[in-house]
Chains A and B, each alone.
Chain A
Amino acid sequence: MDCGTCESTTPVSTTEHEPVQVTLTITPKAKSMLVDAFDGADGHSLLVGVLSGGCSGYMYDLQIVDAEENDCQQLNVDGIVVQVPNASSHLLNGIEIDYIDRLMGGGFKINNPNAGSTCGCGESFG
């Protein structure tokens, strides 16, 4: 098989979404939980990304990071620094980050106006 990796084979050109300038909101409960999670450390921020997969095609990816990530937008939302990758910005514009306080199914929850459908567990959307 000629795998085309030994020389320069032209990759298939695919349509990429243009980055959009993201605006998002964080509820007071979610903000309080994030402040706790940051534990007063300087330079920490919340990375809100999207991965492929999940029952609805996309999955949210929330991480606390201590450095500026590549190709990300930096937002300051009520004192919380949030990073959003440009590649998934079209899927995250307008989201609300909430925190649900209950024993089962609790935790951070994202309300996304771009989601046509959402998985039962809330982690996946499409």
Chain B
Amino acid sequence: MAAVNPLDEGITLGRRDLDVLMVLGTSAQNFVDGLSTNLVPSESGQAIRTCFTDRAARILGTAYLLTREEGVVLVVHRMWTEALLEHLASKRLGQPLEFRNLSDRNHVCFVLNPTTDLPIGTWRVEGTATVARVHDALLLSIAPGPMPASIDDASAAWTHWRVKHRWPEDGAEVTSDRHPLACGLEGTVHPNKGCYLGQEVLTRMRSRNKSGWLLKQGLVDEFDPTTITSESNGWALAIVRQTIQ
């Protein structure tokens, strides 16, 4: 496989560690919205990143979420899949919803630094792939079939991109003992949304500006080495104690 330069435009990286789940049903958007930290749009064609938390706001899973007419697609790191499905299933309570794991039928890639006119926070079909723009410089692509051998796995280039864009990754920054505000997922906690599991804790932290921990980006030398979660080319992401002014 060719070496990947993280500064190149349009680098495609394979994500064999991501599962594609689907919640099917007319009330799927409402159902997922009631459990997630970010606002799930009701119209089809939208793409967001969101978290699922417990009552203490600890992370139960994160997902890239795509809204479709027939339900909601969740692209989830495999470390969360089983527990997240269990969590969702426990809240179904007879609602006409179905959960499907479509990972065997699809492969997921990231495209770093894409040249695209796709608006941020939306998805569309390009050829056989569903392509979502989840960040100014990041596309998520879900395509049918197995991962082509020609596609490199996410590794050094992905870490470089993440550190440059302060983009928290499952397993590195995002772990089940943290809450979203402590690991750089502030953007997944909607400021005006009420009544979801963990919301009281997150709202209190925000209103008092006390999250305890924060994800910081900087030079490796600026951080206590024990706080560094990712590093690349002398730069690092670190989860550090919040300093109250």
Residues of chain B with a CB closer than 8 A to A9's CB? 100, 102, 105
- Counting CB contacts under 8 A, is B223 at the interface? no
Majority secondary structure, B binding face: mixed
Query: Number of B interface residues, CB 8 Å?
Result: 40
Interface size class of A (residues with CB under 8 A): 20 to 34
Q: Is the CB of B91 within 8 A of A52?
A: yes
Q: How far is the CA of A3 from the CA of B129 in the complex (A)?
A: 11
Q: Is the CB of B89 within 8 A of A15?
A: yes
Q: Is the CB of A15 within 8 A of B86?
A: yes
- Counting CB contacts under 8 A, is A88 at the interface? yes
User: In the complex, how many residue pairs between chain A and chain B have their CB atoms under 8 Å apart?
Assistant: 105
Q: How far is the CA of A5 from the CA of B94 in the complex (A)?
A: 21
- Stretch with Cβ within 8 A of B (4 or more), from A25-33, A34-42, A55-63: A55-63
Instruction: Report which of B85, B93, B129, B196 forms a contact with A1, defined as CB distance below 8 A.
Output: B129
Residues of chain A with a CB closer than 8 A to B55's CB? 55-57, 117, 126
Residues of chain A with a CB closer than 8 A to B238's CB? none
Q: Is the CB of B102 within 8 A of A51?
A: no
Partner-A contacts on B (CB < 8 A): 20-22, 24, 31, 33-35, 55, 68, 70, 73, 85-86, 89, 91-95, 98-102, 105-106, 125, 128-130, 142-145, 195-197, 199-200
